[in-house]
Chains A and B, each alone.
Chain A
Amino acid sequence: MAEDKARYVITGGSAAGMAAAQAITEQDLNGIITVLSEEPDMPYFRPLIPYMVTGKKSAGDMQMSGNGPYKGSGIDIHVNSRVDSVNVSERTVSINGQGNISYDKLLLATGSRPYLPPEIKGADANGVFALRTLADAKAMAERVSVTDHAVMIGGGLLNLKAAFALLERGVKVTLVVYSPEVLSQLMEPDDALLIRNALDRAGLKIKTGCSATGILSDKSGVTGVSLDDGSEMPCQMICIGKGVRPNVDFLSGSEIIIDQGIVVNRYTACNTPGTYAAGDVAVTFDPVTGERIMTGLWTNAVEMGRCAGYNMTGRKTAYSGTFGIMNATQIADEPFVSMGIVHTKNTDYEVHVRNTGSTYRKVVFSPDNDRLLGVLFIGDITGAGMYRYVIRENMPINEIKSLIINQRLHYGHFIRN
């Protein structure tokens, strides 16, 4: 391999896969990089797909190659190319059941797909979506013309983004949430008031404590949804947002260890030689607790992908893990950042909450009040990155504690420490 050109095969052309490919191009100028993607579209910034629904961005606007850090050169990308099995001893992958290609280093970056709860019957009807791919978004955008009312099942960030895209298109939207409040993954019900108000202001209807049991349809597609309280709601579109599951099916029978996701060591390597994994499909860990976790974060997929790319070229790089929660976004007119540990009910964490009416801040310290574990900022997210840094570096916070509680931290404080 030292003399020959190294063959890098990357399965999955999205955040993790493209970040790895880009990292490899920077490290190994001679390597042959092949990216295999099951999707029909060239790699794109997946989080932008709601803009396909609103019409504010075209598929071209979302391309990864040539944007951000992705130069796009020196990478051979194959779309419509699904890997259906991996032979780790031969070091080959099979594509679309039609042929094998060999690799020296293989990255598994197949991401995740939406979870469709089996108890929701009739989900195969026309007009039922689980927004994940550009193709989904295109189909959803088309369905808008015949949609007067859309029902979103699940109150997570993804469904909220989809809901806002539909609202923008003038569709009436109702959110059906099983939890007592929206965004339950990212904050506790008591924390969500400002967000809830913003959603109400934006005209979103929300039904909490309620779940869907069946989808009604006719030849035109969806006509309504039945709920567990016995009621029915007419609608022409349904969007299911009930979390994601890693795409690992194609690995069954290989020797690669799976525990929900693909298990890797600190250097993103799998148990089999020359095999790496990164992104939504990989099991990662929390840098503070060390706990193994699965996440669905673009930021993590890129970081882990880059790390894997370096390792594949032989530049040994430890991956530093990620918080299970690390989200920044703006919902309606309300920006927020949620990161680290923010669920504190029935725990002995030291929690500081400050609610000014227009901003909300929750700061979580360890029980021995020595470490920052998590923050939730709503309304004012100034300097969020420094709090992330404090959490991640597991910094002793004695001197800066009140600055953290008051959200007054700035970089100067680190210089002086």
Chain B
Amino acid sequence: MSQPKEIFVVMSRCTACKTCEIACAVEHSGSKNLYGAISEKPIPKSRVYVEWVAPDGKVPIVCRHCEDAPCMHACISGAISRDDEGVVITDSDKCIGCWTCVMVCPYGVIGRHLEEHKAYRCDRCPDREIPACVSSCPTEALVYQTVDAFSSDARKDVAGEMLAGEGD
């Protein structure tokens, strides 16, 4: 079996433009375009978070789909499972909004949709070849690669390595 691709971050390239956040929300909308998405109910949500570390660190954070996914095991309603590609998926029909996954995710990448009373998270864009955040990134700070290809990349940096690390 070929190694699945993952989303890696090259922090030094991130300008914190947050284009990925918008692209992610749009991809997870009904209309899949910004103009439609913006007025949709329920409001579409981004599952990637561009954070800031003083004084100038820009850090896109996205679900790692941890090998030992704490969210999946902690879920008290069986709503979180791993698909054949290794992607950890939250089935929102099964989610009861107890937020146990939020409590155990050490990356803080599980969002809460308040109107819907459902947890949501990165699903690596099942309808796309390349996740929306990656293809939208204007500076190629997000990279969609296999672990091997990414680590053999000359531009490999500490941040990427850290973010590729698995959950606790």
- Contact across chains for B98 and A47 when beta carbons are under 8 A apart: yes
- Specify which chain A residues have a CB less than 8 angstroms from the CB of B163 in the assembled complex: 415
Cβ of B94 within 8 Å of any chain A Cβ, yes or no, is yes
Indicate whether A411 sits within 8 Å of B59 (C-beta atoms), given known contacts A302-B73, A337-B99. yes
- Contact across chains for A384 and B81 when beta carbons are under 8 A apart: no
- Contact across chains for A69 and B81 when beta carbons are under 8 A apart: yes
A410 to B108, CA, bound (A): 7
Of the listed stretches B17-25, B31-39, B49-57, chain A binds B49-57
Q: Which residue of A lies closest to B52 (CB)?
A: A412
- Specify which chain A residues have a CB less than 8 angstroms from the CB of B145 in the assembled complex: none
Cβ of A388 within 8 Å of any chain B Cβ, yes or no, is yes
Size bracket of the A interface: 35 or more
Indicate whether A385 sits within 8 Å of B96 (C-beta atoms), given known contacts A68-B80, A412-B53. no
- Contact across chains for A299 and B98 when beta carbons are under 8 A apart: no
Indicate whether A386 sits within 8 Å of B108 (C-beta atoms), given known contacts A381-B99, A411-B51. yes
Interface of B is mostly: mixed
Cβ of B156 within 8 Å of any chain A Cβ, yes or no, is no
Cβ of B117 within 8 Å of any chain A Cβ, yes or no, is yes
- Specify which chain A residues have a CB less than 8 angstroms from the CB of B112 in the assembled complex: 335, 381-382
Cβ of B116 within 8 Å of any chain A Cβ, yes or no, is no
- Specify which chain B residues have a CB less than 8 angstroms from the CB of A412 in the assembled complex: 51-53, 57, 59, 61
- Contact across chains for B108 and A388 when beta carbons are under 8 A apart: no
Chain A min CB distance to B165 (Å)? 10
- Contact across chains for A47 and B57 when beta carbons are under 8 A apart: no
- Specify which chain B residues have a CB less than 8 angstroms from the CB of A178 in the assembled complex: none
- Contact across chains for B57 and A328 when beta carbons are under 8 A apart: no
Chain A min CB distance to B33 (Å)? 28
- Specify which chain A residues have a CB less than 8 angstroms from the CB of B102 in the assembled complex: 328, 337, 381, 383-385
Cβ contact of B98, chosen from A329, A386, A392, cutoff 8 A = A329
Cβ of A8 within 8 Å of any chain B Cβ, yes or no, is no
Indicate whether A330 sits within 8 Å of B51 (C-beta atoms), given known contacts A67-B78, A70-B78. no
- Contact across chains for A328 and B53 when beta carbons are under 8 A apart: no
Q: Which residue of A lies closest to B107 (CB)?
A: A411
- Specify which chain B residues have a CB less than 8 angstroms from the CB of A386 in the assembled complex: 105-108
Cβ of B103 within 8 Å of any chain A Cβ, yes or no, is yes
Q: Which residue of A lies closest to B111 (CB)?
A: A382
- Specify which chain A residues have a CB less than 8 angstroms from the CB of B77 in the assembled complex: 45, 47-48, 68
Cβ of A134 within 8 Å of any chain B Cβ, yes or no, is no
- Contact across chains for A67 and B103 when beta carbons are under 8 A apart: no
Chain A min CB distance to B90 (Å)? 10
Q: Which residue of A lies closest to B94 (CB)?
A: A67
- Contact across chains for B51 and A48 when beta carbons are under 8 A apart: no
A19 to B107, CA, bound (A): 23
A96 to B49, CA, bound (A): 54
Cβ of B97 within 8 Å of any chain A Cβ, yes or no, is yes
- Specify which chain A residues have a CB less than 8 angstroms from the CB of B94 in the assembled complex: 61, 67
Cβ of A339 within 8 Å of any chain B Cβ, yes or no, is yes
- Contact across chains for B109 and A328 when beta carbons are under 8 A apart: no
Cβ of B168 within 8 Å of any chain A Cβ, yes or no, is yes
Residues 337-384 (chain A) with a chain B CB within 8 angstroms? 337, 339, 381-384
Chain A min CB distance to B117 (Å)? 7
Cβ of B104 within 8 Å of any chain A Cβ, yes or no, is yes
Chain B min CB distance to A324 (Å)? 15
- Contact across chains for A385 and B51 when beta carbons are under 8 A apart: no
- Contact across chains for A299 and B99 when beta carbons are under 8 A apart: no
Indicate whether A410 sits within 8 Å of B61 (C-beta atoms), given known contacts A45-B78, A47-B76, A303-B73. yes
- Specify which chain B residues have a CB less than 8 angstroms from the CB of A67 in the assembled complex: 78-79, 81, 94
Q: Which residue of B lies closest to A412 (CB)?
A: B59
Q: Which residue of B lies closest to A23 (CB)?
A: B73
- Specify which chain A residues have a CB less than 8 angstroms from the CB of B110 in the assembled complex: 385
Cβ of A298 within 8 Å of any chain B Cβ, yes or no, is yes
- Specify which chain B residues have a CB less than 8 angstroms from the CB of A315 in the assembled complex: none
- Specify which chain B residues have a CB less than 8 angstroms from the CB of A383 in the assembled complex: 102, 108
Indicate whether A328 sits within 8 Å of B100 (C-beta atoms), given known contacts A64-B78, A69-B72, A412-B61. yes
- Specify which chain A residues have a CB less than 8 angstroms from the CB of B43 in the assembled complex: none
As a 0/1 sequence over residues 44 to 75 of chain B, the CB contacts with chain A under 8 angstroms (1 = contact) are: 00000101110001010100000000101111
Most chain B C-beta atoms within 10 Å of own C-beta, residue among A61, A409, A416: A416
- Contact across chains for A68 and B72 when beta carbons are under 8 A apart: yes
Known: A298-B100, A330-B98, A386-B107. 17 other contacts (CB 8 A): A45-B76, A48-B96, A67-B78, A68-B81, A381-B112, A383-B108, A385-B103, A385-B104, A385-B106, A388-B106, A389-B168, A410-B51, A410-B59, A410-B61, A410-B108, A413-B53, A416-B53
Subset of 15 A-B contacts with CB under 8 Å: A48-B96, A67-B79, A69-B73, A303-B74, A306-B73, A328-B98, A328-B102, A335-B99, A385-B104, A385-B105, A385-B108, A410-B49, A412-B53, A413-B53, A416-B57
